[in-house]
Amino acid sequence: MNKLNSIFVIVLVVITFFSSQTRAQEPEEKSNSVTAAMTLKTAQAFLNAAGSGDAATLKKLMADDFVWHNEGDKSLPWIGNWQGKKAVFNTFMPAFGKGLSTTEWSTDYSFANADQAVFMGTMNAVANNSGVETGVFSWAVRVHVENGKVRSWNWFEDSFAVSKAYHAKQNP
């Protein structure tokens, strides 16, 4: 009987330990899901503002140390790191607007984890300098949000398709 009591006590201690660990993690998990939901909401508002050209909302949602990063062919004038609101609005946006016109856009997936949100979709565009269409391609963006402000926007696209259209020779 003494051996049975010892086993019972060990099992009870193990169960108590694991149940306390689970309870200790629940508020953190709830906090992470709340943070993820707020991150996704802020990132979605930023994506919508960027897509509609709503500069006032973009400025309001950008952190002071905001970084807009576009991956791709560095010979395109809008590719690279754009640090700060001034660089984004005075250099990046005019270069991008002059260089590319979006003709189709869809956001097909979105998700968030803590302070990071990801959106993925497809788009089509025309390189304004050549008039050549890129063809439909996939895009993704990773958005870092802190305290309701977007700290970084890391854009990924089929830069080969964009570069090919941008550098295409116009047909006479």
pLDDT band at 159 (very low <50, low <70, confident <90, very high): confident
User: Which of 113, 125, 105, 97 shows the shortest CA–CA distance to 48?
Assistant: 105
Instruction: Please give the domain boundaries of the chain with CATH numbers for all domains.
Output: 2-166 (3.10.450.50)
Q: Is residue 89 over pLDDT 90?
A: yes
DSSP bridge pairs for 68: 82, 153
pLDDT value of residue 3: 56
pLDDT band at 101 (very low <50, low <70, confident <90, very high): very high
CB atoms within 10 A of CB 24: 9
User: Which of 120, 50, 123 shows the shortest CA–CA distance to 88?
Assistant: 50
pLDDT value of residue 12: 40
Percent of the chain with pLDDT over 90: 73
